[in-house]
Structure 1
Amino acid sequence: MSEPEIDALVFDVLGTLVDEPAGIRAGIRRLAPALDDTDVEKLLALWQQHIEREQQRVLDGGRPYLASDVLDLEAARLVADAAGVDDPAAVAELALAGRRLPPWPDTVAGLARLAERYPLIGLSNASRTALLGLNAHAGLRWHQALSAEDARSYKPDPAVYQLAVAVSGRPPERLLMVATHAWDLRAAQALGLRTAYVSRPVGDPPVPSDRIDLYADDLAGLAARIGA
């Protein structure tokens, strides 16, 4: 569709607009500067696996809801232990790495361009506090930034996407969900939102059976597709 009939854009943040692995990787290097690249990547994987596993446990009902700040601190402790670092202050500092994520090169200018035509809604699994710090650090422009914390759950729980629908005051089919994760787009689509996949090195590309409305290489490409 060259110009879909939409009233607002809903953006995933982690991975889609900011390079989450790069920010965590930088935090690990600050924690233990002597680590080589291979060890840093192993510790990054340890962090990512913990976050993914614990969010899934919350979704499955195996653990009460905990904000992303708590999971980040748990991940930081695991990484510090594996790196042989026994310094509570250093662990606390590493836990904040998720709020210091660099934007992709096209993110800031792309959001500014899109914001000239559409209301922009951020929708993230990051906690309210983490999202505030992340937005400020990366220079992200929003008209509204929503945290999954308000639904006391995590994407892809439909309740999280419903937050954006409720705030927009528009039917789901008038919203365009933008993400680099196919699982994120599938969940939004199940609730009736239109979908746009933006390619990122850390993304989860759609498979042939997916019916994504729009594909773009970056935010400039997305803006061109929807006439922004």
Structure 2
Amino acid sequence: MACCRPGGLDVNDSLADVKALVFDVFGTLVDWRGGVAREAELALAPLGLQADWAELADDWRAQYQPAMEEVRSGRLPYARLDALHRRNLDLVLQQRGWAAQVDDATRQSLNRAWHRLDAWPDVVPALARLRRRFLLAPCSNGHIALMVALARRNGMVWDAVCGAELARDYKPQAVVYQAAAAAFDLPPAQLLMVAAHSSDLAAARAAGLRTAFIPRPDESGPGRGEQRASCAVDASADSLLALAAQLGC
């Protein structure tokens, strides 16, 4: 069965009580691969270093989950994502034999590439529509300063900033999603987690949230992103604008 929100559009019954939408950010809202590749070339090419810059971005991103697992497992205390990204950058430069050529100042600047990523084209207009009816927040592994930088760069307007720093842990730990619900003083079932990654949505669903899948097929390179959810979700749409329409916004 379906219910009808103001505006005449049907939504699934499971979404009828949703009050807030929370979003994965890297890949779902912003193009990490293109942005990191651009910033790596700007920082490293003047040093005489040459590479497939998108491949370097992939190598850096490949260290993302292993670094967070060190925190999730308790082997490392919680640290902001900037600290983990810097650790991962140092490792990637060492693997490429570039450690001696890239000084600390260059590394510090390049590490902030993750603060200077560009949103996918549908993001800002969709968020503006969704915010007319729902509370909105990122629920990212990125920390608050990083989320604020991306929001200001791209014109994304949030009602709060949720995620890893608030929970002092990293997704897919249930506490990250549940802390977002608590921040809005809502039960988890009244939050809709929006992401381009099935693993994120499966964890959010297990934590009690509603879930919506948005494909970003070029996130990891042309045609290498998820095309459809591989887990059960409450909604799926071709873009954030299409999701806004499904939700009557």
User: Common fold, TM-score beyond 0.5?
Assistant: yes
Q: Which residue of 1 aligns with 2:7?
A: none
Q: Which residue of 2 aligns with 1:222?
A: 243
After the TM superposition, which of the residue ranges 138-147 and 192-201 deviates more from structure 2? 138-147
Q: Which residue of 2 aligns with 1:176?
A: 192
Q: How many residues align?
A: 225
Mapped partners of 1:145, 1:177: distance in 2: 14
CA RMSD of aligned residues (A): 1.7
**Which of 18, 35, 49 is matched with 1:23 structurally?**
35
Report which of the two has the higher share of helix.
Answer: 1
Q: Which residue of 2 aligns with 1:206?
A: 229
Mapped partners of 1:83, 1:102: distance in 2: 29
Q: Which residue of 2 aligns with 1:90?
A: 106
Mapped partners of 1:35, 1:162: distance in 2: 44
In the alignment, structure 1 residue 32 sits paired with structure 2 residue 44: yes
Q: Which residue of 2 aligns with 1:62?
A: 75
Q: Deviations over 1:102-131 (max 9, x none)?
A: 000000001001111111121111112212
SS in 1 for 2:236: strand
Q: Deviations over 1:64-106 (max 9, x none)?
A: 2211010121223234442623222111110000001100000
Instruction: Return the TM-score normalized by structure 2.
Output: 0.84
Q: Which residue of 1 aligns with 2:90?
A: 77
Q: Which amino acid aligns with 1:170?
A: L
Q: Which amino acid aligns with 2:236?
A: Y
Q: Which residue of 1 aligns with 2:180?
A: 164
Q: Which residue of 1 aligns with 2:156?
A: 140
Larger Rg: 2
Q: Which amino acid aligns with 1:56?
A: E
- List runs of 5+ in structure 1 lacking aligned partners: none
- List runs of 5+ in structure 2 lacking aligned partners: 3-9, 220-224
Instruction: Return the TM-score normalized by structure 1.
Output: 0.92
